A and B are shown apart, each in its own frame.
Chain A
């Protein structure tokens, strides 16, 4: 299997587009900190995420990666600023509209909730127990089409494979189009084929919608393989740059035991070397 199927063309086109753009939009985290009880989980996190950029946050367990995401979606209180700066106009700084793809959801297999129910529940106020309008159905179907999941509309959430579920959640996070797309360990529990398909779709949509993506992962190889930029977080940002640069940082190599594992100081970038940990292989669940 070849590695990084879509990454290189992505980056080229992306650079070309941005060279004509005087000031791309971006999301800024300025001096962001989170205090949980008496513990300082995050402090002085400064990050500029440009539109169209795919940034991966890596770090050891307990580094505050998930807390950072929870702060970005507003689930925990944070100090410092989180502002979205649009490319045109001089609108007031405000929080970015986020799209959030949660970590693998623990779903009771018997939950009577179809993909369409999920879409309607998230996107509308019309109570789901009254059924769905034709318009809702069509809109959800079109959104699912983008993630190659139009056939999943009437499936129950519990029936989906990990990969299918993550794609459905991705489609949900993309409507309305977010200013910052947050992916929380989307690989966890997904099989190899599901992972490749997921990232292929993410790459396509990134170009199409000029999405800013923030991926949180403890899987260094996967993160380095798909992202333009790696950010090493451990309570605050300790390294930030191209995957090649960050993977050379002694701190990162030490934390992830790269030298112990005999991995040379270059991007591993091999999706194919990732362990397949999926509960259900893609396409074998119906």
Chain B
């Protein structure tokens, strides 16, 4: 961590001398590729609504953590998000309702439960900040968590990417090739849920959903092959993340929102370069 601080301190910019900016920069450089990698497959699997639902439901994870008087609600958030991911997957398997409807149902239940639990203790306002998130308050310990998440996702993307790709393209084709379709779908949902849950207190729901969708959607406009798609999504994500962070420093704006606007701007540009 010290090494990183010294390294950034050398940069000839005003923002590079503040510890909170140095931390935030490192967090952004970890979070943006993480979400870009996830986002490519989230779009392929049409799961944008799912990550949104998990994000909203994380409030309930916090409420459960408060009830159990855990010192760090991250673990209860993580547990609850994983529970929801598996629940949605099970419902999809045994219910005739469409996935949209099931996710909507589960989200409504989870959010209502969270609001009820938190309002009883009178702490609703205290915890709602978790949904907005503030990357500038991130601490080295939390950065380590994000780093671990990134490493885990990269390893899984090396090991199982093709199975995800084929399953989301055509379940029957994947099944005929011996892929355990349900395990793959549930596993993917669990990974997305876990990453959303552990990053939400600092990154915020708005930024998570934007970073999942926008860079991958931008890359889709210009990429021809899957390799280009994934690599470009990561590059676009990192670039707009850093741009948004630095921009927010000079303009005195909210970091999350600025990052999202930077990503959107690049998306609009990409529309003119569609292949």
Contacts and interface: CB of A to CB of B under 8 A. Distances in A.
B224 A74 contact: no
A99 B159 CA distance: 24
Interface in B181-239: 181, 219-221, 223-231
Contacts, number: 93
Interface in B146-181: 157-159, 161-162, 165-166, 169-173, 175-178, 181
Interface centre among A102, A105, A121, A172 (most CB of B within 10 A): A121
Contact of B177 (A120, A122, A182): A122
B224 A129 contact: no
Interface stretch (A107-115, A185-193, A244-252): A107-115
B44 interface: yes
Contacts of B171: 75
Contacts of B177: 122
Interface string A151-181: 0000010000000000001001100000000
B176 A129 contact: no
A154 B221 CA distance: 17
A105 B172 CA distance: 10
Contacts of A110: 220-221
Given A120-B162, A121-B166, A127-B162, A75 B226 contact: no
Interface string A65-77: 0000010011100
B44 A111 contact: yes
Q: Is the interface on chain B under 10, 10 to 19, 20 to 34, or 35 or more residues?
A: 20 to 34
Contact of B227 (A70, A75, A128): A128
B226 A105 contact: no
B219 A112 contact: yes
Interface residues of A, number: 36
Contact of B231 (A107, A113, A129): A129
A118 to B, nearest CB: 8
A117 B166 contact: no
Contacts of A111: 44, 169, 220
Nearest to B230: A129
A125 B165 CA distance: 11
Contacts of A169: 173
A237 B69 CA distance: 63
Contacts of B220: 110-112
Interface string A211-230: 00000000000000000000
Interface in A90-108: 98-100, 102, 105, 107
B172 A102 contact: yes
B172 A130 contact: no
Nearest to A110: B220
Contacts of A8: none
B175 A74 contact: yes
B186 to A, nearest CB: 16
A125 B169 contact: no
A73 B229 contact: no
B172 A112 contact: no
B225 A117 contact: yes
Contacts of A122: 162, 166, 173, 177
Contacts of B226: 112-114, 117, 121, 128-129
B66 to A, nearest CB: 40
Contact of A112 (B162, B178, B225): B225
Contacts of B166: 118, 121-122
A9 interface: no
A132 B228 CA distance: 12
Nearest to A107: B169
A75 B224 CA distance: 31
Interface centre among A75, A99, A128 (most CB of B within 10 A): A128
Interface string A27-63: 0000000000000000000000000000000000000
A73 B172 contact: yes
Contacts of B173: 100, 102, 105, 122, 169, 172
Contact of A99 (B172, B176, B181, B231): B176
Q: Which 5 A-B pairs have the closest CB atoms?
A: A100-B176, A129-B230, A112-B229, A127-B161, A73-B176
Interface of A: 70, 73-75, 98-100, 102, 105, 107, 110-114, 116-118, 120-122, 124-132, 156, 169, 172-173, 182, 184
Given A111-B169, A122-B162, A129-B230, 20 more contacts: A100-B173, A105-B173, A112-B219, A112-B220, A112-B223, A113-B165, A113-B169, A121-B165, A121-B226, A122-B173, A122-B177, A125-B159, A125-B162, A126-B162, A127-B162, A128-B161, A129-B226, A130-B158, A182-B176, A184-B172
11 contacts: A73-B175, A74-B178, A112-B219, A112-B223, A112-B225, A112-B228, A113-B165, A122-B177, A127-B162, A129-B161, A130-B158
